[in-house]
Amino acid sequence: MNCRFCGKELTKLFVSLGSAPLSNAYLKKEQLTKKEPSYPLDVYVCDGCFLVQLPEFESPERIFSDYAYFSSYSETWVKHCEEYTDKMFKNYGIGKRSRVVEIASNDGCLLQHFIKRGMDVLGIEPAINVAEVARKKHVPTEVAFFGTRTANRLLSEGKSADLLIGNNVLAHVPELNDFVEGLKILLSPDGIITMEFPHLARLIEGRQFDTIYHEHFSYFSFLTVNKIISAHSLVIFDVEEISTHGGSLRIYARHKNGNPAAISERVGKMLDKEDELGFADVKNYLAFDEQVKKVKRELLNFLDRIKQDGKTIVGYGAAAKGNTMLNYCGIKDDSIDYVADISPHKQGRYLPGSRIPIAAPDRIRNTKPDYVLILPWNIKEEIMEQLSYIRDWGGKFVIPIPDLEVIR
């Protein structure tokens, strides 16, 4: 495999998580008698540009054409979208004359807030089922994968973007250079790009290996994403650290020859910070694999102890990251009775690989488990508030990352 950004041959292994099915390929009951396709989860780091990346085993068309993730089911994300919309209006001159285009717009969770303010918006979403939900909310949405071809078509239709948004999409792109070139094409001369993505620094520091799955092709440091953006005649003029998805970055970019906005001092500080952390030295990436093994041992030892004590444990949140966790650790329904999830699109199905059944949250009230393992730990506060009633029977929460924690 060669690096999807710079083309250099990849020889340095960042982490190996065994073999697993696609994390969002939830199973129907009739599929349980069939074998699931499974692919290696071996992650490499490029010793040229330091992009951390997975090989492409399945095409985006297969992965995303029918998708199980809907943004609007997370209260934390809904609030995040509202705050972002306010910020763009107050600080960046985005108003009623601006066109807002969001790539991977999901169910319209973000764009609906711009519509309420009278904005001209367009969502670009590859998953047909998710796009239909957005359209029912009256969010104009095109079903397409984004890249230079889509960007040129939209530009020919007069749909350039004054604000071009990409939240948690950059990791999902195998053709990275084609995608970023598409951003440049679609962006109006004085327009702004904002992109959010999980920060590789937080992934390593927090031992967040469960954010690695086949639907994520790449994992980004600011050092590397700055190289990628610059290679396409764009410039990052600001960067923020935000709390979503266990710690993310939001970058602000524009054309190099566009509106000469000042470069924030935060750009230089972030580059210096990552340099101090060793992100420009490939040796500092290679210790992560052993850290991941420690998380696995901690969780399996805990499950073994409570099962020996005759206790019950269920999971909460049928998230993709949870599937990585369960499959890497080899956890099945003899350890976790079921996983509850608020999304009706997942209820009644089974987790890929582990084949643990997915139930509605009400089942927790009925079965009164001793422990609830929170799989989407990045929104643990939201989940613990929703499930606070488990304390009525002495139930406890279990957080597996970065260190196993039991919360009463």
Shared-domain flag, residues 110 and 212: yes
264 and 403 housed in the same domain: no
- Angle at CA 230, nearest 5°, toward 2 and 195? 90
Q: How far is the CA of 51 from the CAs of 9, 115, 187, 253, 278, in angstroms? A: 12, 36, 25, 19, 14
Residue after which a domain boundary falls, among 225, 257, 285: 285
Among 65-69, 104-108, 394-398, the range scoring the smallest mean pLDDT is 65-69
**Has residue 68 got a pLDDT over 70?**
no
Please indicate, yes or no, whether residues 249 and 316 belong to a single structural domain of this protein.
Answer: no
Are residues 379 and 243 both part of a single domain?
no
CA distance 277 to 259: 33
pTM: 0.91
**Confidence at residue 65, expressed as pLDDT on a 0 to 100 scale:** 58
- d(CA 360, CA 73) in angstroms, rounded, equals 13
Assigned domain for 47 exists = no
Same domain flag for 88 and 128: yes
132-143: pLDDT as tens digits: 999 999 999 999
Q: Which long-range contacts (CB under 8 A, 24 or more apart) does 394-399 make?
A: 394/370, 395/368, 395/369, 395/370, 395/371, 396/370, 396/371, 396/372, 397/371, 397/372, 398/302, 398/313, 398/371, 398/372, 398/373, 398/374, 399/374
Judge whether residue 332 has pLDDT over 80.
yes
Asked whether residue 158 is assigned to any structural domain, the reply reads yes
Instruction: Show which of 226, 257, 285 is a domain's final residue.
Output: 285
Residue 351 belongs to what domain range? 301-407
Question: DSSP letter string over 116-168?
Answer: HTT-EEEEE-S-HHHHHHHHHTT--EE----SHHHHHHHHHTT--EEEEEEES
Q: Chain-wide mean pLDDT for the chain? A: 94
- Please report whether residue 2 resides in a domain: no
- Minimum mean pLDDT among 56-70, 198-212, 307-321: which range? 56-70
Q: Rounding to the nearest 10 degrees, give the CA dihedral for residues 80, 85, 87, 90.
A: -160
Over 90: is that where the pLDDT of 64 sits? Answer: no
| Cβ contact 82:103 at 8 Å | no
Is 248 a domain residue?
yes
With respect to residue 56, please indicate whether it lies within any of the assigned structural domains.
Answer: no
Half-sphere exposure of 90 (CA within 13 A, CB side): 6
Give the domain CATH number at 200: 3.40.50.150
Q: Are residues 207 and 100 in the same domain?
A: yes
Check whether residue 126 and residue 246 sit in a common domain: yes
Instruction: Retrieve residue 5's tokens.
Output: 């950004």
Look at residues 217, 252, 285 and tell me which one is the last residue of a structural domain.
Answer: 285
Q: How many domains does the chain have?
A: 2
Q: Do 138 and 70 have their domain in common?
A: yes
pLDDT for 59 beyond 70? no
> Do 269 and 312 fall into the same domain?
no
Task: Clarify whether residues 132 and 251 are in a common domain.
Answer: yes
pLDDT tens across 278-324, in order?
A: 999 999 999 999 999 999 999 999 999 999 999 999 999 999 999 99
Residues 307 and 272 both lie in one domain: no
